[in-house]
Amino acid sequence: MTVKQKIIEQVNSIEDEAILNEIYSLISIEKDFEKTYKFSPIELQQVKEAVVEADNGKYYTQKESEKLIAEWLQEKSAGL
């Protein structure tokens, strides 16, 4: 008996709707992974430019990024 057949046999014996919903969710997620995202020409160019910038040292460290985001959030929330 193949793994697929064993799974089908097990699923056929499950009565709990919640478990069946979880199984269905997992199967649906797998189908989403099968789709391959295709970059548009503009997106591809932007990625290439970003790689060149990173290679030339033009990037923020994790710590710098966190600081910039915190400052931005503080600015945006100041008027609330």
The pLDDT score that the predictor gives to residue 25 is 87
What is the rounded distance in angstroms from the CA atom of residue 12 to the CA atom of residue 28? Answer: 18
Tens of pLDDT, residue by residue over 3-31, are 999 999 999 999 999 999 999 988 887 66
Confidence (pTM): 0.45
71/24 Cα distance (integer angstroms): 42
Euclidean distance between CA atoms 76 and 42, whole angstroms = 29
